[in-house]
Amino acid sequence: MDESRQSDASLMTALQEGSSAAMSILVERWQPRLLGFVYRYIQNETVARDLVEETFVRLYLSRDRFDPERNFSTWLFGIAANLCRNQYRWWKRRRETSLAEAPETADDRSPAEQAARRDRDTRLAAAIQALPHALRSTLLLYYFSGLSYTEIAQSLGCSVRGVESRLYRARQRLGKSLSLPAAPMQQPAMTRPGLLEDRALKTSTTQ
Amino acid sequence: MTEKERNTLDDRLHAWNPRLDTDPDLGRKVLRRIGEPGRHERLQALSLNRFRFVAYGALAALVLVGVFLASQQLERHRLLRDGSYCLLIDPVFRAQNSRSEANPEVPGIPSESYLDRLAWMQDRLDLSREQFMTLVDLHRQYADRFDGLYRELVQLDREYGQFEDLRLHDAAIDFMALYDVLQEKRAAEAASHSLSQEFIGQVLAILNSRQRPVYLSLVHNVNTNKHG
């Protein structure tokens, strides 16, 4: 059977049996979404890439504890969210800013529009960075990882009601910070079909 | 979506789309970090073994220290017991030890307690039951005479002490009386020495050739004023 078509759970089983090919497939499959989430949380590209790498290393080290009955993505994003939180705490202790790097946003518009967009994104990034870990991780997982409420709850170790509450509070705070109306969410989370935004994450391996 | 259309939070979030190329070498980097399958387990086992080695080493050191301290304690206990035994069969030594005591009048030892007091000799000398009972009887038989000499020596020590007090505070003392006391003291010490030697001879007669050196090492300081 072609390994690239295997489910995450069966790849994890193969990884438990010592298959390095399984790890390569998992990395290729999950790197874009993981990088998207981690970058938006950390807002520093170099550190985000390091954390993504560390996430996969942790995944390998704890492979024997993986329960095939459990959703792989919740496990993976749970590891990543913890790493992000630890990194951010480390930064806070050293009073450093993580907004040193801001990669270009995918755009083919005019320079004026691009400048306006950069400004808008910078303010959004700053507002997100001001959120506490619980709210920030919930918001980013909801918008950029493609996980459902239940999966987010499993990743972050809280209840589904907790996810709803956190998401509501995060949106309220963001709306206030950006002077924007926190309009009702466009798609019901429980039925949301996967990822909303990772179009700009170009997979170089496919080039 | 134009600038005007992006006026809700969801719009802003959906539009936040940083250009991040995925790393085509990430898989290789991860595999390099985790090494070949089984490497981490071996490293963990190695560090566990190291930890185990250190733990065993520390445990062994603790045991050695414990054994050393216990042996020191046993040795001290043995010396104290040996000294205590010498007090039993050497009235001069006993009198010397009692000088520092407020009340040196030691009551006689109840004869039945000799069984307990001498129980250690069974192991130390590897005595048969019969030898042990004979030795206990022998100690009982000599006990009165040892106690009598001890009391006499204590009394003579006191009298000598009184003469010393008088000599220090009043030069007029009866030197003839002092001489008599000293003579009596020497005689009592000689009697004590003889009695101890007689007693030791009696004990040696009960012991076999293997037990005698052990007993002699136990009492070799008797009447030589070198008790530990």
Please indicate whether, in this complex, the C-beta atoms of A113 and B33 are within 8 angstroms of each other. Answer: no
CA–CA min distance B39, chain A (Å): 11
Residues linked to residue A118 through DSSP beta bridges, in sequence order: none
Summarised one tens digit per residue, pLDDT across range B28-54 is: 888 888 875 555 555 566 566 666 777
CA–CA min distance B56, chain A (Å): 28
CB-CB: which of A53, A113, A116 is closest to B30?
A: A53
CA–CA min distance A172, chain B (Å): 9
* Residues in Cβ contact with A56 at an 8 Å cutoff, skipping those fewer than 6 apart: A23, A26, A27, B26, B30
Q: Is the pLDDT assigned to residue B218 strictly greater than 90?
A: no
Q: Are B196 and B89 in contact (CB under 8 A)?
A: yes
Please indicate whether, in this complex, the C-beta atoms of A197 and B14 are within 8 angstroms of each other. Answer: yes
CA–CA min distance A191, chain B (Å): 17
| CA A33 centroid distance within chain | 6
What residue ranges define each of the domains in chain A, with the CATH number in brackets? Answer: 3-102+111-195 (1.10.1740.10)
pLDDT computed for residue B40 by the predictor: 54
DSSP class of A49 = H
Please indicate whether, in this complex, the C-beta atoms of A36 and B20 are within 8 angstroms of each other. Answer: yes
pLDDT computed for residue B70 by the predictor: 75
Burial class (CB in 10 A: 0-12, 13-18, 19+), A126: middle
Q: Are B222 and B91 in contact (CB under 8 A)?
A: no
Interface of A with B in 66-95 (CB under 8 A): none
Taking the C-alpha atoms of residue A121 and residue A135, their distance in angstroms, rounded to an integer, is 19
Residues of A in contact with B36 (CB under 8 A): 20
What is the percent of chain A with per-residue pLDDT over 70, rounded to a whole number?
77
pLDDT computed for residue A41 by the predictor: 92
Whether the pTM exceeds 0.80: the reply is no
Summarised one tens digit per residue, pLDDT across range A146-186 is: 889 999 999 999 999 999 999 999 999 998 888 876 555 55
Q: Is the pLDDT assigned to residue B111 strictly greater than 80?
A: no
Residues of B in contact with A24 (CB under 8 A): 27-28, 31
